[in-house]
Amino acid sequence: MTTVTDSEVLRDALGLLRDREEVAERLLASSAKHSFDPDKELDWDAPLEDGKWFWPPELLSLYDTPMWRGMSEDQRIELSRHEAASLGSLGIWFEIILMQLLVRHVYDKPVTSNHVRYALTEIADECRHSMMFARVIQKCGSPTYPVPRLYHNLARVLKTVSTTPGSFAATLLGEEILDWMQRLTFPDDRVQTLMRGVTRIHVVEEARHVRYAREELRRQMVTAPAWERELTRVSCGEAARVFSTCFVNPKVYENVGLDRREAVAQVKASGHRREVMQNGARRLTDFLDDIGVLRGVGRRLWQSSGLLA
């Protein structure tokens, strides 16, 4: 039997803090080299291109359903314009929550540390991203798609009271699935140039955010007390359920002239859609499984979200 002495615990804790500073230092160096000002980087005056998609068709919720097969090409492209606006609106909602979580995270930490400096850098990135998403929604002439009031208010509670590991688990949920879709969007020449530019900028800057959140969550799942780890599993599972429910606002179907209820039912029954969402979540669910977040009730909530098989 091995016994852990106080000095070993202290050494491990110091090691984790050193690791935290080193990760943040690398992320700061990368931010200094590859950060973008979307207002200057993208050509906002260029007209939208006829016949081009606003999101890759295979990543649209209705793709390959009976309803999809009955739609004209123009109507499908119109759906892509609305779904892209719905995802952009979701992105802004999520980033505003994240900014508050990060501000809370650093409130008690040493202000000159790399870890705090990087958090502030990330908040600045998210400010630019949210403005970029709002600008692209406007440029495409699309409406905004807020999440249902209930979830808007549930998130108000989460962003105010969630503890550190829960905050970083929610961060990854919001970042990794959309990131997976954006990695397929920016190289796709069927897609509008402006959308490709927006997703390229987002992918480059989000890669650092994912790294920061993963490293912190991994440390937290080692150091947090048992009750907090369990709370993280449950709150993260519930967040996955809310996230998948809010992912595409059903109003998009109405706005392209489709029957909303029928469209929602067909998306729910679509094997292609389930596969897309699970593929999008896989990198994240593998990681969460690895660090012990996907257990018990939390795991069952993830399964009921449809993001985990």
Strand partners, 191: 53
How far is Cα 161 from Cα 158, in angstroms, rounded to an integer? 5
User: Is residue 208 within the footprint of Fe ion (CB under 5 A)?
Assistant: no
When the beta carbons of 76 and 135 are compared against Fe ion, the nearer one is 135
Looking at residue 55, its amino acid is: W
- Nearest distance, CB of residue 147 and Fe ion, angstroms: 17
How far is Cα 180 from Cα 277, in angstroms, rounded to an integer? 10
Contact region with Fe ion (CB under 5 A), list: 13-21, 32-40, 129-137, 161-169: 129-137
CA–CA distance from 276 to each of 60, 212, 240, 267 (Å)? 9, 25, 15, 12
Find the radius of gyration of the CA atoms of the chain: 20
How far is Cα 20 from Cα 216, in angstroms, rounded to an integer? 7
User: Is residue 200 within the footprint of Fe ion (CB under 5 A)?
Assistant: no
- Nearest distance, CB of residue 225 and Fe ion, angstroms: 27
Contact region with Fe ion (CB under 5 A), list: 36-44, 122-130, 268-276, 283-291: 122-130
User: Is residue 129 within the footprint of Fe ion (CB under 5 A)?
Assistant: yes
Q: Which single residue is written with the structure tokens 């990794």? A: 176
Q: Which of residues 235-274 bind Fe ion (CB under 5 A)?
A: none
- Nearest distance, CB of residue 174 and Fe ion, angstroms: 8
- Nearest distance, CB of residue 241 and Fe ion, angstroms: 21
When the beta carbons of 126 and 188 are compared against Fe ion, the nearer one is 126
Which residue in the set 208, 209, 219, 273 belongs to the binding site for Fe ion (CB under 5 A)? 209
How far is Cα 119 from Cα 100, in angstroms, rounded to an integer? 11
How far is Cα 300 from Cα 298, in angstroms, rounded to an integer? 5
Contact region with Fe ion (CB under 5 A), list: 50-58, 123-131, 218-226, 284-292: 123-131
Nearest to 173 by CA among 205, 131, 217, 134: 217
How far is Cα 306 from Cα 281, in angstroms, rounded to an integer? 10
Q: Which of residues 46-85 bind Fe ion (CB under 5 A)?
A: none
Show the CA angle centred on residue 185, arms to residues 82 and 264, nearest 5°: 40
- Nearest distance, CB of residue 210 and Fe ion, angstroms: 8
When the beta carbons of 83 and 179 are compared against Fe ion, the nearer one is 179
Contact region with Fe ion (CB under 5 A), list: 128-136, 158-166, 211-219, 223-231: 128-136
Q: Which residues contact 247 (CB under 8 A, 6 or more apart)?
A: 61, 87, 90, 277
- Nearest distance, CB of residue 2 and Fe ion, angstroms: 40
Q: Which residues contact Fe ion by CB under 5 A?
A: 126, 129, 206, 209
